[in-house]
Chains A and B, each alone.
Chain A
């Protein structure tokens, strides 16, 4: 049992923390979001130079061989800074699939360009009718000639507007919700027949509806084994679930501390509102929710690093339940205690609140993960 970080891990944490503190304050973030892509390409290059884009990939693939703890350290800081650069879709999701199952050709072409920052990716796994069920797919990929033809509608694909390539889940066999018969494909953004409807999301990111109409890909576009991709999807999504959970923990820390500070400044009835016991206890509750979430964050990350098994999946789901509930509470109370100011776009508080609310939805909400947690008895 050991909760301490290695020297490398401490360095990584410090490096991301420093960037968030020095180069990513709320005003800079606002400017970055106003850029055409909704994030800064310059920042992305800096991430590449600092080595952050290489963290989860094996040394063989040109990466650092980092695990769940490293992911946790990065994402917690990303959460504190409300970073909008597409680390999650590119590195954790698309990169997560490719590093696990990509062929050597796919890795050479795609992983290398993720690591050097030249290509952005996205994972098109969700569909309108599927909600949080990763196996509920109506998108099809039919084997035709030398390759496959894809048809279907993938929804709310994060980083869709800027992605150079998509990892797409599609049914190659079986019925709509069968666990078997699912395959993954690499589809370039400019593939013929792929069209997008782009939009901003409520928490300041960008997403797309991605329509696939007779999109033809070669057989080398297949990632891993045909018909057997569900476990692979699940593994990448569990990493991503940990990742957004860590973001939430970072966001909660900022929010509870900002609320405490505000309550020391804001004077009503002749005294700082932080002197009122009813508000003090509310803030103690916020603090406790944050700490409990952080505890389960450590647990989920350590379990994932022990091996990807039922215990790890259970820990991830337990963490996501906690973060869903705690994030809602901390976000809502931060707005409440900031009063009218908490309602404004000017203050960062509301932006954290929006992100926390969306994190509950991402990769399955509290209800979904409660059921999943319970299924690993």
Chain B
């Protein structure tokens, strides 16, 4: 047993750092650091576009994909290093719905035509996807969804309502779970459809989240005609594909690297915030809580490494992998709240971005981004299977209860 990275991994890490420093340099990082407004990017800035182009040119845009489709032959350790370094560099990520969630379904179960049509465009961030899963009546109980797709000639006709659809207002396409059968178990009548968002009959209604953030939507589908070639895999097997998707992308789910960045920033803020003639970092109570959190985060990081090493040796992730999402989101939420605490009164101003652009920040430049991260961060224990659902899963699958 040893923790140190091997020589070749260290060399790889160096390559990655040089690449990121060149294509996502510190001045760009700094400029974007304090703009917290939640972005769903298609109309991204020129430097973001250049960064994605550089990624594609180097062949590093989608490390986890199969090599045939532009992925890499990296070991799990290399992928881990990549995740860590990209988080440290605070560089933009490809839209996760396409690159991380849909793509594995497509390259595993999609038709050749679907792969050709979608995978390169996703890899180049030229096609933005949204995920049509949740419905007003199907949240944690996702399999209870009722959006109907009825076969009519060469098309499916889709009717229903999807909700909490992130980025639907900027997406070109939606991958969608629809009911194609009401026979048998409810999981067995679900299909996986790809829907062009410009299709007639689709209405996207914005939902404004806490803090005025517009990232999620309600999507109404009224007699939307979807060509049958846009069905992924077999009819009524959609639940299997959606579940298979959940086992992809194990690493990174804990958000360790991101939380490490937040922790470092929290410490910096605390040392710069004055309290009683000293700094907040001198306050023993505050410091104790930060220290406790740091240990929690170290434990999580090690748990992730344990999972990684099992995968590297060709094994399946062990039961400890199931706790990554729960602990990861709990820790990041606590960090987010502590950042707000650190700002004191200057956590309160909530100006419009245009006001800041014209007249400069009020108080702490970073406070606004931190507040938005905290508000939006509450969603992390709700989406992707709420933490309570995660505990149900562990209880059943790991403890056998």
Contacts and interface: CB of A to CB of B under 8 A. Distances in A.
B298 to A, nearest CB: 6
A339 interface: no
B394 A287 contact: yes
Interface in B351-401: 388, 391-392, 394-395, 398-401
A192 interface: no
A291 B398 CA distance: 12
Interface string B292-330: 101110111011011011100100000110010011000
A303 B2 CA distance: 8
Interface string A277-301: 1001101110110011111101101
> B296, B302, B306: which has the most chain A beta carbons within 10 Å?
B302
A69 to B, nearest CB: 5
Nearest to B267: A377
Contact of A283 (B296, B308, B395): B395
B3 A303 contact: yes
Interface in A164-193: none
Given A260-B401, A284-B395, A3 B327 contact: no
Contacts of B306: 3, 295, 298
Contact of A4 (B1, B323, B395): B1
Instruction: Decide if the interface of chain B is mainly helix, strand, loop or mixed.
Output: helix
A2 B309 contact: yes
Interface in A211-227: none
B18 interface: no
B395 A280 contact: yes
Given A3-B305, A292-B303, A321 B1 contact: no
A105 interface: no
B6 interface: yes
A2 B300 CA distance: 17
Contact of A293 (B299, B310, B399): B299
A123 interface: no
Interface in A1-25: 1-5, 9
Given A260-B401, A292-B299, A321-B292, A3 B309 contact: yes
A298 B1 contact: yes
Contacts of B309: 1-4
Contact of B295 (A4, A285, A288, A296): A296
Nearest to B308: A1
A89 interface: no
Contacts of A263: 401
Interface residues of A, number: 39
A285 B394 CA distance: 10
Contacts of B298: 296, 299, 318
A294 B302 CA distance: 9
B256 to A, nearest CB: 12
A4 B401 CA distance: 30
B305 A322 contact: no
A2 B3 CA distance: 6
> B1, B296, B309, B323: which has the most chain A beta carbons within 10 Å?
B1
A283 B3 contact: no
Given A3-B310, A295-B299, 5 more contacts: A5-B1, A260-B399, A260-B401, A281-B391, A301-B1
13 contacts: A2-B309, A3-B305, A69-B1, A281-B388, A287-B319, A287-B398, A292-B299, A298-B306, A303-B3, A318-B294, A322-B299, A373-B291, A373-B295
In order of increasing CB-CB distance, the 10 nearest A-B pairs are: A295-B302, A280-B395, A292-B299, A3-B309, A295-B303, A284-B391, A302-B3, A291-B320, A274-B401, A318-B295
A377 to B, nearest CB: 9
A364 to B, nearest CB: 14
B3 A281 contact: no
Contacts of B287: 374
Contacts of B246: none
B77 interface: yes
A281 B303 CA distance: 20
A264 B2 contact: no
B80 to A, nearest CB: 8
A283 B399 contact: yes
A27 interface: no
A202 to B, nearest CB: 27
Contacts of B77: 1
> A3, A274, A277, A374: which has the most chain B beta carbons within 10 Å?
A3
A293 B320 CA distance: 11
A370 B292 contact: yes
Nearest to B3: A302
Contacts of B308: 1
Interface string A301-315: 111011000000000
A302 B305 CA distance: 13
Given A3-B306, A321-B292, A280 B391 contact: yes
Contact of B399 (A284, A294, A298): A284
Contacts of B291: 370, 373-374
A57 B383 CA distance: 52
Contacts of B303: 291-292, 295
A275 interface: yes
